[in-house]
Amino acid sequence: AYLDETRLFGIIKTAMAFYEALFETPMPYQKYEVVYVPQFRIRGMENVGMVCMKEDFLAPPSLMTHANDLQHRKVIVHELAHMWFGDLVTMQWWNDLWLKESFADFCASICLKHCCASDHNVALLLFRYFLFVFISHYFAFVIVARCPTHTLNKSMSSSLPCSTRSLTQAFSVEA
């Protein structure tokens, strides 16, 4: 595994300054750690003051494509956004998880646009990403409009569901 600490810390410092200005609140925690986890099944997961990420992001620059590099930056700034919106301010219960994740995606996108404005590759990849999201969401909305679906905000009992499968099914589209 390869880690370019200077690059990683540069992204985090720039994004942290951006979020502190955006939210008009300093970093809410005394420390911020990034841990790369072998065989981690998701790209990233925030905890208070610490983020876990896939070890796959530790590829040497010579092996990392522009798309992989952008994805790594996006995960870094997405998870960092959760320090303010997701950890400091959090939803009342699990049925609003979509809001926390959507807002972190939104914040990550404007953060990347601000922090990497001079990088033509990032601008082009962000454009392609938004085009893909727009097209995929358009078709999802067309499907949802034509068939019965589950509600987006499903009521939950006072205890956690016995499996995550029951939670993810609550938000699936049935054809």
Considering the candidates 20, 24, 46, 79, report the single residue annotated as catalytic: 79
24 is catalytic: no
**Of 123, 7, 120, 116, which is closest to residue 58 (Cα–Cα)?**
7
Where helices occur in the chain by DSSP H, the ranges are 5-23, 66-81, 97-115, 120-146, 164-169
Q: Can you tell me whether residue 147 is helix, strand or coil?
A: coil
Q: First-to-last CA distance in the chain?
A: 43
Dihedral angle over CA of 136, 138, 139, 144, nearest 10: 120
Residues serving a catalytic function are: 79
